[in-house]
Structure 1
Amino acid sequence: MTSEPLVITSDSLLAAEAARLAAASGVTVEECPAAVDALRRWQRSPLILVGTDLLVELASLRPPRRDGVYVVGWGQAGEPALRAALEVGAETMLELPSAESVVSGLLADVSDGEGGDGLVIGVLAGSGGAGATTYAAALASLGAERGSTLLVDADRLGPGAGRVLGLEDLPGVTWGDLGQTAGRLGARALREAVPHVGSLGLLGWPVGDASAPQPEVVREVLAAARRGHDLVVVDLPRESDSATEALVTGCDLVLIVVRANVTGTASAARLVARLPERDRLSVVVRGRAAEPEAVGRALGLPVAASMGDQRGLSEAIDLGLGPIRSRRAPLARAAAEVLTRCRVRAGAMAA
């Protein structure tokens, strides 16, 4: 596959606009003014922008289905163009100039070599005080040593992942800035905009009250995060709503942090009963009051890791030192075990 997006249009103004947007995104495009010539390059390009002027002709040539095909044009497209867009397998139709930012985001993803295959791990508290946010922060901290990692704080009523990591004072965008986002969000734009230190980024909440984002915003943010990072860790809220459902279904793996006692297991059981797609759920057991395997059997879920309570952890977090102070500590070992199970390695992460 070549590194240049393919622009299929005989409209010189449209071609020039695509070239301008590409240049602003740090890429060059390959222009193709004839539909028949586009077939030879159809499978080689990471992104294809089809002008509405050649769309119907291109559809008549029946190019093979593939991802990354978008239709662009001036003004609203008519019914023949809509049918042709379906025939070529286009993701969507983009009307310029109003969709300029969307096209720019697509081109920016290509310029940064976005692969779209990052691993997304959700972390959910089986009961109040289980330590899910701290565990999520530990996962993200260790993951950042092996590849680009984003910690998404999706629990607006939680303690704050930024506070746990010691990153709460860093500048950058928050959910408050993304709450009204419309259209496609660029992966590189998200990665560069969030507060970050080295390979670790954080998407958290603004100071003060913040409204929960709409489900479509959540899905777009999670998709951009996956495209732009090797690992995405999501600190999930316990509340049940459409936005939370969008987050859970967008995860490859959901870890439920459960206290190893009767009340913690009972609370987790009620939570598990309302979660979709149980095959993606696993348990992280905290504490030694019960055997981890017994907790897993009670919930009907596999145990991904277990850990004892860690002395001095709360104090370290209060001092802004973060959750990982020693690789031999219970929290670090439990986080490393999950990353190993997911075959997370330097520069490449796969479930």
Structure 2
Amino acid sequence: MTAPLLITRDQSLLDELLRLAAAAGVAPDVAGDVGAALRGWGAAPLVLLGADVAEEMARVAPARRSRVYLVAWGVVPDELFRVALAVGAESVAQLPSSEAWLTETLTDLGDAEPTQGLVVGVIGGSGGAGATTFACALGQVAARSGRAVVVDADPLGPGIDRVLGLEERHGVRWDGLCQTTGRLSARSLREALPRREGLGALTWHAGPPGTLQAFAVREVLSAARRGHDLVVVDLPRTADPVVDEVVARCDRLLVVAVPTVAGVASAVRICARHRDPTSVRLVLRGHGVEPAAIARATGVAVLARMADQRGLAEAIDLGLGPVRSRRSNLGRAATEVLDQLSLIQAAA
């Protein structure tokens, strides 16, 4: 990781920024003049530009780049926003009110290998299709080769921590995240979740169903994407504006369907509600109606099919999760889907 760049001659501002950087666990480079600032301008992953030198930097017109933020004490005059535009800053951070945001922004830089993971939504084509189980299977298989997280967006579901055998693990749940505001760092989220090795889970505490808050969902998905190679979202079948927003933030949506007449009829409705031929795919569980006929009825391509798995309930009850072996039906189907998603992502 290249160090973030702090540009200021204001000693009190510098002391504060250094304190925030120390809290975030990063060691920044400091530039007190334009020459030193320009030398590190292009390579730094993040630039914090003090208000005291902003006009001077704007006059030399450094190359436009992302992740430049102007930092000032107290109330910011309108003129400073014009200077921020001139220097190409994305926003103006006001201290002390922006302390938490700056700390989280710097904390994200502490990830040695920043990622931009794939977000995959999983939804049942009908009740009892096994969408939650398949979402957890995807997470289990993906975690064997990278960092993965399964996000439970269904407050009426069984709880993915129970399906994965993580209900006894300590960690943050939705109940806590929906009460907080502000930017959420990738590393903070990853380290706070109940997890087993490379797999984390975000779900609900046992008890009455909770309610997803739009601001919390946005921050969680953003932080989860930055901190994991794969983010799997277990989605409810109910229509809801927040759920629709989650779907819109997914790179791929998998509809798990059972190939019966009733199952296909229900899947047709789900696919019609989330119709996007470039991102929606079907995963079939069981035998019955032919995949080609289901694809014609739904207008969605079949990505994978699998048979029912013997001993599934026992494996979940034992806290092992749905995938005990990659050679199992769920393991093979999850591996096939992940391979196909990788190919689709590479082509895109």
TM range (shorter): over 0.9
User: Does residue 191 of structure 2 align to residue 192 of structure 1?
Assistant: yes
Deviates more, 1:61-70 or 1:288-297: 61-70
| Residue of structure 2 equivalent to 1:206 | 205
2:12 counterpart residue number: 13
Aligned counterpart, 1:90: 89
2: CA distance between counterparts of 1:132 and 1:16? Answer: 51
User: What is the alpha-carbon distance in structure 2 between the residues aligned to residue 77 and residue 43 of structure 1?
Assistant: 26
Q: CA deviation at 1:350?
A: 9.8
Residue 41 of structure 1 pairs with residue 40 of structure 2 = yes
Tell me the alpha carbon deviations over residues 58-100 of structure 1, each in whole angstroms, 9 at most, x when there is no partner. Answer: 2343333322222222112121222233344433322212221
Task: Give the match for residue 245 of structure 1.
Answer: 244
Match for residue 142 of structure 2? Answer: 143
Residue 303 of structure 2 corresponds to residue 293 of structure 1: no
Whichever residue aligns with residue 187 of structure 1, its letter is A
Tell whether the 8 Å contact from 1:36 to 1:58 is kept in structure 2 after alignment: no
Contact 2:141 / 2:326 at 8 angstroms: preserved in 1? no
* Alpha-carbon distance in 1 for matches of 2:347, 2:116: 8
Q: Tell me which residue corresponds to 1:326.
A: 325
Using the alignment, how far apart are the partners of 2:326 and 2:159 within structure 1?
23
2:264 and 2:312 mapped to 1: Cα distance? 23
Give, as a single letter, the amino acid of the residue that structure 1 aligns with 2:250: C
The alpha-carbon deviation at position 166 of structure 1 amounts to 0.8
How far, CA to CA, are the matches of 2:159 and 2:201 in structure 1?
11
Where do residues 1-351 of structure 1 align in structure 2 (5 Å cutoff)? Answer: 3-35=2-34, 37-113=36-112, 115-275=114-274, 277-343=276-342
Letter in 2 for 1:161: I
Structure 1: distance between partners of 2:209 and 2:31: 47
Q: Go from structure 1 to structure 2 and tell me whether the alpha carbon gap of 1:107 and 1:174 turns closer, same or farther (over 3 Å shift).
A: same
Q: Is the 8 A contact 1:137 1:151 kept in 2?
A: yes
Please say which of residues 271-280 and 307-316 is displaced more in the overlay.
271-280
Q: Could you tell me how far apart the structure 2 residues matched to 1:273 and 1:86 are? A: 43
Contact residue 56 and residue 80 of structure 1 kept, 8 A: no
Range that drifts further, 168-177 or 325-334: 325-334
Change (3 A) 1:293 1:43: farther
**1:319 Cα deviation from its structure 2 partner:** 2.9
| SS across alignment from 1:272 | helix
Matches of 1:141 and 1:54, distance apart in 2:
50
**Unpaired stretches in structure 2, ≥5 consecutive residues:** none
Aligned mates of 2:207, 2:83 — CA distance in 1: 48
Question: 1:243, 1:59 → 2: CA distance?
Answer: 41
Quote the Cα distance in structure 2 between the aligned partners of 1:82 and 1:94.
11
Quote the offset at 1:277 in angstroms.
Answer: 4.0
Query: Could you report, residue by residue, the CA deviation over 1:97-153 in whole angstroms, capped at 9, with x for unpaired residues?
Result: 222121111111111235241111111111111100000000000111001111111
Q: 1:171 to 1:350 in 2, by over 3 A?
A: farther
- Retained in 2: the 8 A contact 1:196–1:202? yes
Q: Partner letter of residue 80 of structure 1?
A: E
Q: What CA deviation, in whole Å up to 9, does each residue of 1:26-51 have, x standing for no partner?
A: 21111112345423322100111122
TM-score normalised per structure 2: 0.93
- TM norm structure 1: 0.93
Aligned length: 347
| Superposition deviation, residue 276 in structure 1 | 6.0
Q: Which amino acid aligns with 1:122?
A: G
3-state SS of paired residue (2:69)? strand
Change (3 A) 1:34 1:343: same
Moved more, 38-47 or 81-90: 81-90
Cα distance change, pair 89–269 in 1 and its aligned pair in 2 (3 A)? farther
User: Letter of the aligned partner of 2:8 in structure 1?
Assistant: T
Cα distance change of structure 1 residues 66 and 237 upon mapping to structure 2, 3 Å threshold? farther
Please report the RMSD computed on the Cα atoms of aligned residues, expressed in angstroms.
2.1
* Alignment partners' CA distance in 2, 1:302 and 1:87: 48
Q: Higher mean Cα deviation, 290-299 or 172-181?
A: 290-299
Structure 1 gap segments, 5+ residues each: none
Contact persistence 2:26–2:106 (CA under 8 A): yes
Read off the aligned partner of 2:258 and give its amino acid letter: R
